[in-house]
Amino acid sequence: MAEKAENVKCLIIGSGPAGYTAAIYASRADLKPVMYTGLEPGGQLTTTTEVDNFPGYPEGIDGPALMMDLQKQAERFGTQVRMGMVTKVELSKEHGGVHKAIVDDKHEIHAESIIIATGATAKYLGLPSEQRLRGGGVSACAVCDGFFYKGQDVAIVGGGDTAAEEATYLANICSKVTMLVRKGEMRASKAMQHRVNSTKNLEVRYYTEIEEVLGDQVVEGIRVFNNETGEKEVIPVTGLFIAIGHKPNTEIFKGQLTMDETGYIQTDGKSTKTNVPGVFASGDVQDKVYRQAITAAGTGCMAALDAERYLAAVESKEEVEA
């Protein structure tokens, strides 16, 4: 006999600052939210050793501890936090329609509203030494972690606008920034290239790739090679920032939700509303500009409020029709 579908008022897909903040607000509004954490409970912050820029923690806090605090707060108000991965969705286009979600390819949920907080995954080079030193000097967010390398020499990988912007940001606080560009030119806009070239303590190396990140516990340097000449060199740095892009985790929503050309979910104006009634997107899954824990938390709050108002409107219409 097939398992009976579970009915929920508010389904939150994904954890992290956006998901947990949405859960806090949704549970306080008596929406009885059910959250599925996904493959990486707590999101990207669980790979961050220190978080110094999240309000309310004057001494700073490590990423996993911050996410545990948010989870406990959500659970205190009644959120059901479940381990599991939503593997398929069937979204209703009707106002007041029921959305279907399949968890781990077996458990079916019927949701009156859905808050998407699946985030985006930073792209890395894929080197074993790079992965080993994530949190030990390798970072994908200069704005988040650059402060820890104040007055030190660092390197950044990438040639687009994000890389250029983060490189100039780092140059304001670090002694020297070495920017590694795989090709013979940058993809960044002319204005950003001009900013990079005008920054005195920022050196751009073209046709340059990383062979290995050096260091046992923390980054001590990088071994690079010129992909035209094959020449190798060791550059002493204490921090390595990867800025080659992010991939929004939106695969299961493709063909059902409106997205931009890179897969980020598009929302209506300043709201978190998607093109499907009762489905809301928050955090990095719809934000490719700021990508901060606090901005993600803010949109999580907005998504819960949008969901609450949507469900209230659906219920009042049903009462009138009854």
The verdict on whether 216 is a catalytic residue reads no
Sign of the torsion angle spanned by Cα atoms 196, 202, 205, 211: negative
The verdict on whether 10 is a catalytic residue reads no
Q: Which is the catalytic residue, given 10, 141, 284, 287?
A: 141
314 contacts 307 by C-beta, under 8 angstroms: no
The verdict on whether 144 is a catalytic residue reads yes
Give the amino acid at 19.
G
- Long-range Cβ pairs for the range 203-207 (8 Å, 24+): 203/176, 203/177, 203/178, 203/179, 204/179, 205/178, 205/179, 205/180, 205/181, 206/181, 207/181, 207/182, 207/183
242 contacts 138 by C-beta, under 8 angstroms: yes
Going by the DSSP 8-state scheme, the letter that residue 50 receives in this structure is -
Alpha carbon distance 182, 187 (integer Å): 11
Q: Which is the catalytic residue, given 145, 284, 287, 306?
A: 145
Q: Which is the catalytic residue, given 10, 144, 174, 284?
A: 144
Name every residue whose Cβ is closer than 8 Å to that of residue 172 and which is 6 or more positions away in sequence. Answer: none
Q: Which residues are catalytic?
A: 141, 144-145
